[in-house]
Amino acid sequence: MKSDPFGGVFSEDGRPSKPRIINPIPNASYSHYPPVLDFRWQPCSGIYPIVYEVEMALGWYEDALEHIEWGKPHPISTRPSKGPHLATTFPGAQPGRFRVRGLNTTGEGEWSEFRQFEFMI
C-alpha cells in the first residue's frame, strides 16, 4: 500500500506547498472546558526541514450574530509549530479562526484557507 502525506500537492520549487486544514471541521462549535483546541493540517511538501506558522484570531459578533469582526480588541497572534499540528487553549466564549503556512530555507509558503470555529458557554 502506498500513502501520500501531502494529499497530492507537491512543491515545484522547494518552497512549502499550501497546507490543507484537517481539524477543526468547518464552523465547528464547542462547549467543553477547559477550551483546548487541537489544530491539524496536512504537512507541506518542499525542502525539509519545514516549520509552520499558525495564525489565530479572536472574533466577536458585531450585529445580532450576523457579522463577525476579527482581531479587535484582541490582536491576531502567531505561533510556531515544528509539525503539522498545534494544541492550544482558546480564551473565552467567542468565534475564532486560524490559518497556517510552511516556512523553510527557500522562503514562505502560501497561507492555507481560514478555518472558522467557535466556543459557546
CA–CA distance, 1 with 14 (Å, rounded to integer)? 26
58, part of any domain: yes
What's 94's domain CATH number?
2.60.40.10
Kindly state whether residue 8 falls inside one of the protein's structural domains: no
**pLDDT the model gives residue 56:** 93
Residue 62 in domain: yes
Burial 1-38 (b: 16+ CB within 10 A, else e): eeeeeeeeeebeeebbbbbbbeebeeeeebeeeeeebe
Question: How many independent structural domains does the chain possess?
Answer: 1
Domain interval for residue 57: 21-119
Q: Residue 3 falls within a domain, yes or no?
A: no
Local mean pLDDT, 10-residue blocks, the chain (121 residues) = 84 96 96 93 97 92 72 80 95 90 97 94 75
* pLDDT for res 74: 67
